[in-house]
Structure 1
Amino acid sequence: MLRRAEVQARLGIARSTLYGYLNERSSSYLPSFPKPLHLGSSIVFLEHEVDEFFVGLIRAREVASERR
């Protein structure tokens, strides 16, 4: 499990960006972003889901560069 700050560090994003990815009403919303688990007042993410999301970003970049 990864805490919020660890996810931010892995992806190189700010807290507001992370919450934008999770908020359906945000223009930054990403439905494919891993959903957090709530542990008391904290949230955590499953490490393998974050890793899969990151790999998906890399694949999307590679596909986009092949189309050029």
Structure 2
Amino acid sequence: MQSNPSKPFQMLRRAEVQARLGIARSTLYGYLNSRSSSYLPSFPKPLYLGSSVLFLEHEVDEFVEGLIQAREVASGQR
């Protein structure tokens, strides 16, 4: 959790998250759906504001950092 009070939370729209991760809309919703074979429990949960689906930028960044760390651990095991 971000604890720096001088920097406000930044929110990303669904399309921005898709662009950052290079994934399709259906993939994004698969990551969020616990009944999907694509479900990722570590994927950031969205915020809903009216009809907008938003994600906290720092949570998306932490998710990507986790993927990078997992890759490094996996490549070190070879």
Class of the TM-score when normalised by the shorter of the 2 chains: over 0.9
Structure 1 or 2: larger helix share? 1
Structure 2 gap segments, 5+ residues each: 1-10
TM-score by structure 2 length?
0.86
Deviation at 1:20, TM superposition (A): 0.2
Describe how 1:1-68 pairs up with structure 2 within 5 A: 1-68=11-78
**Runs of 4 or more above 2 Å deviation:** none
**Distance in 2 separating the partners of 1:29 and 1:12:** 17
Aligned residues: 68
Deviations 1:16-45 (A, max 9, x none): 100000000000000000000000011100
Which amino acid in 2 is paired with 1:30? L
Compare CA radii of gyration and give the structure with the larger one. 2
User: What RMSD in Å do the two structures reach over aligned CA positions?
Assistant: 0.4
TM-score by structure 1 length?
0.98
